[in-house]
Amino acid sequence: MKFAHIGDLHLGKILNGHSLLEDQRYILDQILHHLKSHRVDCLLIAGDIYDKTIPSSEATEVLNHFLKCLNEQKINVILISGNHDSASRLAFGSSFFKQGNVFIQTHYSNQPIVLEDEYGLIDVYAIPYMNRFDIKKALGLEETPSLKEGYHRLLEQLNLDLEKRNILVAHQFVLGVSEPGEDSSEELLIGGLEEVSSPILEDFDYVALGHIHKPETILNLSGRIRYSGSPLAYSKAEANQLKSMPIFELKTKPDWELKLISLFPQHPVKMVKTTASDVLNGIRGLEMMDYLYLELTDAYFPYAAISEIAKKYPNYLSIFPSHQNYLFQENDEFDHLQKLKPMEIINSWHQRVSGRNLSDEQLGWIQELWNKGEKE
């Protein structure tokens, strides 16, 4: 049986004020295309379906359309909720989805979803994101365990039949992974997620994880425990990443195959570090509609060039200097400024921003305001 593994869709994500919904539609269409051409039987979606617990109606439309298309292509779906999702909202209609072979798991169950192919049965355990309090409740514990201990006990409860092929779909921060990037959305959670680890993870024939956005994040040598990564870049730390989707086939228990399918976004998120004039002259490989994090290395911040850059790359996300405190970075300039009169400082700032000196009339107005301010 052939599976594909995605996660961290974050439908409805807004990145620096830019709605990514069109990009998300685009990448889901691409994923659908790959599922079809690779004749995938079952898609595993490892949580963080939406970016917010109350998704916009547009975001729900995107998921609705995606699930409908999967159903039309007779692709089974096993989907769990992540820490960004509202479990109860995502559970809406799940009894009906199940009849269409879309299994939405938003609450813990130690019972697998059982699939079958010519080699026998496959048990798929789908465990939504859980914190230690959820685990305490799910297992009926008296004390709240640490997440690591609790998760281990949770996995013990599954009572894997090691004769069969077993898959786990989960949304957690599993030990052994490097920390998420500095400004990744996961960092916005206080303390992020606690780490999880357990030797039981090694007993599965495939562990489809969600939470880490970095592609090809592999947790054991066999490559069977892995994060798919998000299908799109959702933070500065993810800029320039080539995202991908694992497609794997389980035949007999030891016999399996894995392919990584590269995903190409409509408008990639890019991080560029260069001078303003280089940007305005055109950077090779940078398209007009790319999402751009631009770090300017100019010695003086090129205020006047910013509006031109913004026009050239309307999807820019952030433009920021390599150096802090431009104005006073060099003692020379500081000394120079100290010798100037207030009107001269204002004019020199205006000159830098607009490229023009203030007119005598303008200087007169400012002088008037200045005098008035000094009096008060």
CB of 86 to a second copy, least distance (A): 6
The single residue among 14, 73, 96, 133 that binds a second copy, judged by CB under 8 A, is 96
Compare residues 61 and 183 and give the one whose CB is closer to a second copy.
Answer: 61
Q: Which of 16, 36, 58, 299 binds a second copy (CB under 8 A)?
A: 58
Residue with tokens 């201990």: 149
> Any idea which residue has 């939470």 for tokens?
211
Q: Which residues pair with 260 in a beta bridge?
A: 246
Q: In terms of CB distance, is 49 or 239 closer to a second copy?
A: 49
Residue 276 is a binding residue for a second copy (CB under 8 A) = no
172 burial class (0-12, 13-18, 19+ CB within 10 angstroms)?
Answer: buried
For a second copy, how many residues bind (rule: CB under 8 A)?
A: 23
Q: Which residues contact 288 (CB under 8 A, 6 or more apart)?
A: 312, 313, 314
* Between 75 and 158, CB nearer to a second copy: 75
Closest residue by Cα to residue 234 from 209, 212, 258: 212
Using rule CB under 8 A, residue 79 touches a second copy: no
Q: Is 191 left (phi over 0), alpha (psi -120 to 50) or beta?
A: left
Question: In the complex, what is the shortest distance from the CB of residue 99 to a second copy, in angstroms, rounded to a whole number?
Answer: 5
Helix residue spans in the chain (DSSP H): 21-37, 57-72, 87-90, 94-99, 132-139, 147-156, 276-281, 303-312, 331-338, 342-354, 360-375
Please name the residues in contact with 294: beta carbons below 8 A apart, sequence gap of 6 or more: 272, 273, 274, 279, 309, 313, 316, 318, 319, 320
Strands 225-227 and 217-218: what pairing? antiparallel
Residue type, 326: Y
Shortest distance (Å) from residue 65 CB to a second copy: 9
Q: Which stretch binds a second copy (CB under 8 A): 50-58, 151-159, 314-322, 358-366?
A: 50-58
Q: Which one of residues 14, 33, 54, 308 is an interface residue with a second copy (CB under 8 A)? A: 54
Q: Is 94 in the site for a second copy (CB under 8 A)?
A: yes
* Binding residue for a second copy, selected from 16, 22, 36, 92, defined by CB under 8 A: 92
**The binder of a second copy chosen from 19, 86, 110, 348 (CB under 8 A):** 86
73 is a site residue for a second copy (CB under 8 A): no
| Token duo for residue 155 | 């996995």
Q: Is 60 among the residues that bind a second copy (CB under 8 A)?
A: yes
Applying CB under 8 A, does 64 fall inside the site for a second copy? yes
Of the candidate residues 16, 88, 220, 222, the single one contacting a second copy (CB under 8 A): 88
* 25 belongs to the binding site for a second copy (CB under 8 A): no
* Residues near a second copy, by CB under 8 A: 54, 57-58, 60-61, 63-64, 67-68, 71, 86, 88-89, 91-97, 99-100, 102
